[in-house]
Structure 1
Amino acid sequence: MRIDFISAVPELLESPLNFSIVKRAKDKGLVEMYVHNLRDYSTDKHRHIDDYAFGFGAGMVLQIEPVDRVISQLKSEREYDEVIYTSPDGETFNQKIANRFSLYRNIIILCGHYKGVDHRIREHLITKEISIGDFVLTGGELPAAMMADAIVRLIPGAIGDETSALSDSFQDNLLAPPVYTRPADYKGWKVPEILLSGHQAKIDEWLHQQSLERTRLLRPDLLEE
């Protein structure tokens, strides 16, 4: 899998893309990640990539030309399954989308910035708009890194035990059950006896019931889906 990030502030992606599971997947050759500095595609001698909005108030807008130049160059080299734009008004990112994206071969993520991008970019160059929630950030780099983490960990071999991802919250529209580890008794706070019984069928049943109960209590909307 290959992920190309287009960013006005590429430094914001350096840390999240070079640690933990994402770095391990890169080191194993399971995923390639490239961060493209949008300023490298500016035709302005000062490397400007933004300008004032026509007929609007305060706030700068990413220009269409540098974005078109970098996307056109990337698409001339390979085919992409999606060209994603991180936007507050996009489709809300969730586990189902992460599962689908993890099956793709190549994706581009354009990180929004400033007041947004020239709308013609969204009309002609973007195939999918994604939001991580109903709030606004300074830029789309952090949402892009979050999406990449959620996607990459689903690639076979990225995590030590591949079955671990199957029991994550949201995989089956349920929240994960509570988890415990040693010691079994700490300050009188005890691990549920069923988990120490060694009877795996009963343990699995208990875990499933716990998932259902937690979902009903905390996220009943998931059960409605």
Structure 2
Amino acid sequence: MNDISNIYYGPLPPDSPYVKPFRFHYTQNGKEKSWDLLKVHDSVSIVILNTSRQKLVFVRQFRPAVYHGLVCAEAGDDGRSIDMKKYPPSLAVTLELCAGIVDKPIPLIEIAREEILEECGYDVPVERIEEVISYRSGVGTSGSLQTLFYVEVTDGDKVPSGGGGVDDEIIEVAEYSVEEARKLLQKGNVLTSPPSFLFGVLWFLTNRVHANSPQQ
């Protein structure tokens, strides 16, 4: 995952299947205004609890946007001046919920089921997946919709061929006890995790910990 080299920046091609920038014009209280936005895919994320071992199942992956946020002050216009000894790629490996973009015309719960299998290796029917809440992310740039799901899995749901992502994805599965997850939310922590991860963990601790407490 950390074997990364030859980092540089380039202009966004107009045929990007993931991000389309545009300018939004409007009139507010008689004054003309504009705002630069990004059209991106909606997404799903899933809080996964392995009840066989009472472990929350997360994923780790290298995120270029996080890396750029860390190095942008010293990277130059094209990124070629990055000191990778000072800024190793491991700094931008995030801890996240299992998640994926909505890029096909199927129910969101089916997309969630696919992501659980592809990223974490658990094959579960949609009947066991619970839809929790939908909310808007990136409200200053994209306003895309993300839907949070919850599922309980067992060791018996694990399939040998699943997990780790598909195609060119490099994803590492990480398991945390409830107490380890709780410590992530302690005051003063600085994390590379996105807000959706923190929200998902907080939702679980608020709504599901007591239901599973006899096994903890």
TM-score range, shorter chain: under 0.3
Larger radius of gyration: 1
> Which structure shows the higher helix fraction?
1
> Which structure shows the higher strand fraction?
2
**More contact order relative to length (CA 8 Å, sep ≥ 6):** 2
